[in-house]
Structure 1
Amino acid sequence: MSSTLLLIAFIIYGLAMMGFVIAITGRWSVQVQDPDAYARRWGRIGLILTIIGFLSHLGFFFTRWAEAGHIPTSNMYEFMTFLAMMIVLAFIVVYLIYRTSLLGVFALPLAVIIIGYASVFPREIQPLIPALQSYWLKIHVTTAALGEAFFAVGFAGGLMYLLQAVDFSSKEKKHRREQRGVEFTIFTLVMITAFVASIFSFNAAGYSAKFETDVKVIGTDNTEQTVRQEVKYVLPPIVKPFESKTTEMQPFLGMTSPLFEAPSWMHGANAGRKLNTVVWSVLGGAILYGILRLIARKPLGAALQPLTRGVDPDDVDEIAYRAIAIGYPIFTLGALIFAMIWAHEAWGRFWGWDPKEVWALIVWLFYAAYLHLRLSRGWQGKPSAWLSVIGFLVVMFTLVGVNLVIAGLHSYSGT
């Protein structure tokens, strides 16, 4: 039942996004007699659909909780679906304050992409490992995710501002640099979308490849042992694990063996598979981005710019700032203070320079700098928008890159 409710939420979010798109395009359509009334009506429809989708998403969360017997935020599938739900909640809060339909055009796709991304991970309910068997799981993860959700809304506001403010027709060096920055941001979103599409496509086709590799583990008597581990790929293996033996591989486009193996210095669980995932994400993103560029016949930022027509840039700038200002204290509590208390209970220390801890601190310092520059130096407009966009890209690397690529105490969340 929980999976059905999540699918319903996913579909309704897509419909709500279309409602907001119609509200925006209708505002400057010559075929609409009263553009403002038309936009308000479709904005209300988009909001109602968003709330219905959120309620379905909330139903998924609680039914999954009942099925699992613990709060469903213990692995990547559960956490990312929860993060998407918090992004929708943050969007609803900010939308009710500012009533800007354009925000739904950019915020809701983030939730949709993240739900799709979550769905590539194993959905089976797993028992909690000892480190997660604590009431701090509810407190730490939920508040950290809610803070990151408001950062996502700030990212949407910042990207909206840049799409409106960047001159895509100029050939000046400064403007070209800004154009590349916007395109890189859009490419990142396209890359995640392409990764999700690749995983679903190869899963549907039943593709698999298997390798055997030796892994060193610490036994119960603290002695080092070498065990044989099987690594399964669902994407064609461009990169195989270091010093591994191929036990099964289906041909793909004439490729009957991996092109190369992961470097010896890349450590951690399933390092080769993770590198293979990164390579596929970049390749898939490049192909999908190229197709979209051919269809649009212009940079994607320039193609999206007309959507921002008629929107007050000061309002958009204010939305991004307010969202980040709301999210920052929540993130501080969840990702730092509560996390350190839990770390002390679980591992006997408040801080241990684990990669996830370090990157959470980097995120916190980045947004602290954003708020400082905004309030004390008067950084508004483009500088503020760029910081809100870059900040959320750092957040996404912390959530995705650190969990899946860098080995650490939080690696369990990437299984």
Structure 2
Amino acid sequence: MDAVSKYNDTFFTLTFVLYCLGFMLFVIAVTGKKWGGTNPEAHMKRWGKIAFGTTLLGFVSHLLFFFTRWYMAGHIPTSNMFEFMTFLAMMIIFAYIVVYLIYRTLVIGIFALPIGVIILAYAAVFPQDVQPLIPALQSYWLKIHVTTAAAGEAFFAVGFAAGLMHLLRTIDFTGTSKSSRREQRGVEFTIFFMVMIIAFVGSVFTFNGLGYKAKFVADVAQADKSGVEQTIQRETVYVLPPFVQPHNSKIEEMKPFLGMEKPLFEAPSWLAARKTNTVIWTLISGFLLYGLLRLVVRKPLSRAISPVLNGIDAEDLDEISYRAIVIGYPIFTLGALIFAMIWAHEAWGRFWGWDPKEVWALITWLFYAAYLHLRLSKGWMGKRSSWMSVLGFLVVMFTLIGVNLVIAGLHSYAGV
């Protein structure tokens, strides 16, 4: 098993490296067209094939990681945040491969691959130990529900990438009218949202590399199997410097950070301290990284990225975004709603219980239903359609990250 574990870790690292390399090769293929000599189209085609081949190798490595993890765990590896996020990243790359083979548009790789890379890196933030399935997950519906829901969300991610590209291609970044400024701010906020996730992942890796740890203990009353209440000591470990101390806890271990030898305040009983600390660090690191990037490029990031898309047919991007969502919507409907309700009835004796994850899955489904209705019945195409594809995926990301890590519910095991 130790040998399998080493192979599994190797495949994970190799996958991450190959996806990053594939992204850089796609950038070379697209931006290098300008300096491709007398035959820029041939240059773009050649480097595009190399980039796509590298992405395929990364996907194969990702599959090997997935199946070796399955062998180690004895069940499909989608039962916690690390496993689900790695699986979602794999499905995003798969969805991108499908869309690429249909449309042969290289530039989508510049935007789709980073989404997969960010989610894969985000997965590495969570504990990676193989864990036994809790009773609620010991069902064959785990394979069916989670895989189909993730597959649907993966196509939504590709739709988001194409929709964001369409906006970057069509928005007038030199415009000064009220509507132009509103569009510019909207796209910039979307990019800032992505930068925040990257910054948070970078912060966790940095402090992990430095060996930072803060540990708190608190006495908690808990009933044993016979119903007798007893006091146990609960330990909470932070991997980021704590601004927020758990309620009624004592510091057992805490390394000073920038002169801060204890948290700034203690959380009230109704506030999840570690999750609040995560939100604070996400905002701080996000603003710092965004500010640094703005200093480097000396302009809004969206305006700096926009020239890369010059020469790309905006209508093609709009069509790709729509088609990706059309593919993903019925798959998501099956996985996140129908299969989920059947499993919920088997596990909890009811089809629907207004759990936060259930509610946000429904909100996601309704949002994309509205997208398809407005697109097909009201003729919402172009910018309006792209804005909805972007907003829809932000809802998906909140469902995956915000609900799991901030809001407590029956699906909280996914945050372990």
User: Which residue of 2 is the match for residue 373 of structure 1?
Assistant: 374
Q: Helix, strand or coil for the counterpart of 1:87? A: helix
1:30-45 aligned within 5 A = 30-45=35-50
Bigger Cα displacement from structure 2, 150-159 vs 161-170: 161-170
Matched, 1:15 2:16: no
Bigger Cα displacement from structure 2, 241-250 vs 192-201: 241-250
1:142-221 aligned within 5 A = 142-221=147-226
Which 4+ stretches in 1 moved above 2 angstroms?
Answer: 213-228, 261-266
Q: Helix, strand or coil for the counterpart of 2:256? A: coil
Alignment CA distance shift 1:222-1:332 (3 Å): farther
Q: Kindly state the Cα deviation for residue 307 of structure 1 after the two structures are TM-superposed.
A: 1.0
User: Which residue of 2 is the match for residue 54 of structure 1?
Assistant: 59
Alignment CA distance shift 1:216-1:328 (3 Å): farther
Q: Kindly state the Cα deviation for residue 43 of structure 1 after the two structures are TM-superposed.
A: 1.3
Specify which of 48, 65, 80 is matched with residue 70 of structure 2: 65
Q: Kindly state the Cα deviation for residue 218 of structure 1 after the two structures are TM-superposed.
A: 4.9
One-letter identity of the residue aligned with 1:349:
R
CA distance in 2, matches of 1:4, 1:70: 20
1:302-317 aligned within 5 A = 302-317=303-318
Does the aligned pair in 1 maintain the 2:36–2:43 contact within 8 Å?
no
CA distance in 2, matches of 1:179, 1:170: 9
Q: Helix, strand or coil for the counterpart of 2:258? A: coil
Q: Helix, strand or coil for the counterpart of 1:246? A: strand
Does the aligned pair in 1 maintain the 2:36–2:44 contact within 8 Å?
no
Specify which of 255, 267, 292 is matched with residue 250 of structure 1: 255
Matched, 1:287 2:292: no
User: Which residue of 2 is the match for residue 401 of structure 1?
Assistant: 402
Question: What is the Cα-based RMSD across aligned positions, in Å?
Answer: 1.2
Does the aligned pair in 2 maintain the 1:26–1:32 contact within 8 Å?
no
CA distance in 2, matches of 1:10, 1:121: 16
Q: Kindly state the Cα deviation for residue 223 of structure 1 after the two structures are TM-superposed.
A: 6.3
Q: Percent identity?
A: 67
One-letter identity of the residue aligned with 1:91:
Y
Q: Kindly state the Cα deviation for residue 222 of structure 1 after the two structures are TM-superposed.
A: 5.2
One-letter identity of the residue aligned with 1:12:
L
Q: Kindly state the Cα deviation for residue 215 of structure 1 after the two structures are TM-superposed.
A: 3.7
Does the aligned pair in 2 maintain the 1:194–1:288 contact within 8 Å?
yes
Alignment CA distance shift 1:204-1:30 (3 Å): closer
CA distance in 2, matches of 1:261, 1:331: 41
Structure 2 gap segments, 5+ residues each: 1-6
Q: Helix, strand or coil for the counterpart of 1:73? A: coil
CA distance in 2, matches of 1:339, 1:222: 32
Specify which of 28, 31, 37 is matched with residue 25 of structure 1: 31
Alignment CA distance shift 1:294-1:343 (3 Å): same
CA distance in 1, matches of 2:248, 2:237: 15
One-letter identity of the residue aligned with 2:267:
A
Does the aligned pair in 1 maintain the 2:25–2:48 contact within 8 Å?
yes
Q: TM-score scaled by structure 1? A: 0.97
CA distance in 2, matches of 1:202, 1:30: 41
Matched, 1:5 2:26: no
One-letter identity of the residue aligned with 2:372:
L
Q: Helix, strand or coil for the counterpart of 1:124? A: coil
Does the aligned pair in 2 maintain the 1:210–1:248 contact within 8 Å?
yes
Q: Kindly state the Cα deviation for residue 225 of structure 1 after the two structures are TM-superposed.
A: 5.3
Structure 1 gap segments, 5+ residues each: none
- For these two proteins, the number of residue pairs brought into alignment is 410
